[in-house]
Structure 1
Amino acid sequence: MPEPSLPLVVTADPELLDDLLRLAAAGGTEVVVATDPVAARGHYNAAPLVVLGADQVQACRSARLPRRSRVVVAGRRAWPPGVAEAIGELRPVEACLLPDGEPWLIDRFADGPGRPLGRILAVIGGSGGAGASILAGGLAVTAVSAGHRTLLVDADPLGGGLDLLLGWEQIDGLRWPALTAAGGRVDPPALLRALPQRGDLVLLSFARDESPVVPGEAMATTLDAGRRGRDVIITDLPRRLDDAAVLALQAADRAVLIVPAELRATAGAARIAQMIRFHRDELSVVVRGPAPGKLTARDIAAALRLPLAGSLRPEPAMCQALERGAPPASTGKGPLAELCRRLVRDLLREQRVTA
């Protein structure tokens, strides 16, 4: 079992650092210390908690560090000029001033380190009907079959609904509108307990009779709960990236773009890939057949200038099973199940290497 990651403190203020080290010790944890965003970048995503000193807020905003959950901005007595406004632009983050906020921050430090954080894999369709939801659902079903506690997040408001894909539309539980109404202020374990679930698979999807809007704060709460309470988190993201989708994309450990093996779909996917790469460096492609023009998966990956994560052949039997309400990859057989096993295995192998 890998050693869990430690909280990350980013500050060059010696007095603030002394305070934060003292509070971390009171919370029962050691920390990794970085003096600026450049030094912080290698630890930023894996840390269970990031505490940014007020002296580094402007620098972190300029460095375009990925948005993620569990980020706290800490200062002493009063915010320096411009920091309060910068905190607003870095949302969702929490903020506290010392010494008044010391008991609260000790509790935050006491939350970690614990078990290794869950790993996030984001799936994005390169075109309409590319099969992103089927791939996301297959990944979640496969992860559970392999013994991993899994959260599946439906973040595509214009998709058909992952609850329908799984045959879960009648299962009671919290949907996005209820979480949005709570303003994202939900205890992470309580959130996971409130969501629709079967066995080790938990789903957050949309309600069909309410506005399909996901605020960034609600997404941050969801990813935080998933990181802390699940082994694998799969997010099905929209091609039109809203604030919540950008946050999920930046928080993901891996991102996969799925593209049909067609020329026009590849041209459209190139624009989607360009948008994604604006928010993250790592991205790979899954190519879905059939290929009417005889384009190979390697041809398409080369055209997109992306590493090839895998390819999918047509599965008529699986498509028929989906129409009958069977979840994708539920038999554990076929190209989709094989690809999902490999992607999940690679995702968790990276955790063992980097932890």
Structure 2
Amino acid sequence: MDAPAVVVAATDPQTRAAASRWAAALGAAVELTDTAAGARRHWSGASAVLVDAAMARRLVQAGTPRRPHVVVVDPEVGHGEELWRTAITLGAALVCRPDPGSQTAVLELMSSALEGRGEACVIAVVGAVGGAGASVLAAGLALSAARRSWRAVLVDLDPAGGLDLVLGAESVPGARWDTLDATGGPLPAGALVDVLPRHHDVALLTRSRGGATTSTEPAEVVTAVRRAGDLVVLDVPRHPAAHGVLGCAELTVVVVPEDVRSVAAARHLLDDLRQVAGTVVVVGRGLPGGLGRSGLAQHLAVPVVARVAHRGSVRRDVAAGRGPGRALDRVARTVLGLVGLGGTP
């Protein structure tokens, strides 16, 4: 028997109704089920799977493997660590409520799944406070992926730029944000990536030193570059105005230094991110005498998946324009493993 285009596995009536409407809007064949066995029957073959929170827990308990294009939809979706771990285990790209505000993101994900487009995974990195080390981690993720032969694109969304300085790529020729306006139309994926600066096998999009403000929409750029690579890493500012692009990301990583001030800032930031992002996790940045990973986990209701150890060598290497090198490889492997990029293609 052929697999349906979309499986809706839920016992919650609001979730079943909303998911069915969304699938119908795309003209997709839908199979409704209220059992884990029914969901597992077409788990691998369906283009997309929508589950409620209770069904997601049952599927994890049954040992269901990760897969792409999973959405957790539930009217009572909370933001505790248990739910996010469940979503990550299933490979969910989005966690949302069955209301009109979720429709655009869900339809975009389902449309991508139904069209069978080969698209890169998108990971966004945000610092809880200034100087948290988000840009360094973003660079480390892209470099680690490139060393494993994944095609990686690193996108600097900070209006001030500077990610090229972290990599030591400020002198590498190629297109910057302020030169993209000359395209005058939809950005062609392959051509765009080909003209970006490339350093250590990572394609980089950042700002020119003293360059003009660009009118190119970040979401348009992400849509283009994700069609031409395996991984897109976004270095995202803390300002809420920049957070709209987080709906494009399968995983949002918040870097939180292990001190009380940073934890307080992270709580406010996480409240904002939950309105726009899908799966959110925390990476702690070690500090002498800091709270430690367990301390962060006690104060933040999201998974703390890794910890960047306090190393002066990383700071010195970045300051010297050498990038983070391999110092972040262990943390990078953990984060990349969450989205199925832990090995080689």
So what's the TM-score if we normalise by structure 1? 0.65
Q: CA shift at 1:62, angstroms?
A: 1.9
CA shift, 1:253, in A, is 0.6
Query: Could you say if the C-alpha distance between residues 203 and 296 of structure 1 is closer, same or farther in structure 2, counting changes exceeding 3 Å?
Result: same
Q: 1:65 aligns with which of 99, 103, 112?
A: 103
Q: Which residue of 2 aligns with 1:113?
A: 116
Measured in 1, the distance between the counterparts of 2:199 and 2:109 equals 31
Note the residue ranges of structure 2 that are not aligned, 5 or more in a row: 8-20, 29-45, 57-67, 71-97
TM-aligned CA deviation for residue 164 of structure 1: 1.0
Q: After superposition, what is the alpha-carbon deviation per residue over 1:249-277, rounded to whole angstroms, capped at 9, x for unaligned?
A: 11111111001111111111111111111
Shift of 1:299: 1.4
For 1:10 and 1:224, the matched residues in 2 are separated by 21
CA gap of 1:70–1:190, structure 2 versus 1, over 3 A, is: farther
Cα distance in structure 1, aligned partners of 2:226 and 2:258: 34
The match for 2:321 is 325
Give the letter aligned to residue 227 of structure 1.
R
Q: 1:255 aligns with which of 252, 268, 272?
A: 252
Are 2:338 and 1:346 aligned? yes
Indicate if the aligned counterparts of 2:156 and 2:234 stay in contact, CA closer than 8 A. Answer: yes
Q: Does the Cα contact within 8 Å between 1:122 and 1:256 map onto a contact in 2?
A: yes
Task: State the distance in 1 between where 2:69 and 2:267 align.
Answer: 29
Q: Tell me the residue number matched to 2:225.
A: 226
Distance 1:199 1:263, change over 3 A: closer
SS in 1 for 2:252: strand
CA distance in 2 between counterparts of 1:208 and 1:184 reads 25
Q: Secondary structure at the match of 2:226?
A: helix
Cα distance change of structure 1 residues 173 and 252 upon mapping to structure 2, 3 Å threshold: same
- Residue 192 of structure 1: how far off its partner (Å): 0.8
Shift of 1:199: 5.7
Equivalent residues of 1:163, 1:205 under 8 A apart = yes
Q: Output aligned runs, 1:135-174, within 5 Å.
A: 135-159=137-161, 161-174=162-175
CA contact (8 A) 2:176 2:206 kept: yes
Deviation at 1:189, TM superposition (A): 1.0
Q: 1:283 Cα shift?
A: 1.0
Q: Per-residue deviation at 1:351?
A: 12
When structure 1 is superposed on structure 2, of 128-137 and 218-227 the one drifting more is: 218-227
Check 1:219–1:62 CA distance in 2 against 1; reply closer, same or farther (3 A cut).
same
SS of 1:305's equivalent in the other structure is coil
Taking structure 2 as the reference length, the TM-score comes to: 0.67
Aligned partners of 2:48, 2:137: CA distance in 1, in Å? 39
Bigger-Rg structure (1/2): 1
Quote the residue 1:127 is aligned against.
129
Q: Where has structure 1 moved over 6 Å in runs of 4 or more?
A: 6-9, 68-73
CA distance in 2, matches of 1:68, 1:219: 19
Q: Match for 2:338: what amino acid?
A: D
Q: Give the letter aligned to residue 236 of structure 1.
A: D
Instruction: Work out the number of aligned pairs and report it.
Output: 271
User: Which of 280, 283, 286 is matched with 2:277 structurally?
Assistant: 280
Q: Would the aligned equivalents of 1:261 and 1:288 in 2 still touch at CA under 8 Å?
A: yes
Q: How large is the RMSD of aligned CA atoms in angstroms?
A: 3.8
Residue 198 (structure 1) aligns with:
199
Is the 2:333–2:342 contact (alpha carbons within 8 Å) kept by the matching residues of 1?
no
Give the match's secondary structure for 2:275. helix
Partner SS state of residue 279, structure 1: coil
Query: What SS class does the counterpart of residue 307 from structure 2 fall into?
Result: strand
1: CA distance, partners of 2:180 / 2:167: 21
- The amino acid across from 2:261 in the alignment is R
Unaligned runs of 5+ in 1: 1-5, 19-30, 48-59, 74-107
Measured after TM superposition, the shift of residue 113 of structure 1 is: 2.8
**2:264 aligned with 1:267, yes or no?**
yes
Q: Contact conserved, 1:262 with 1:291, CA < 8 A, in 2?
A: no
Letter in 2 for 1:253: E
Partner of 1:89: none
CA distance in 2, matches of 1:317, 1:72: 44
Aligned to 2:209: 208
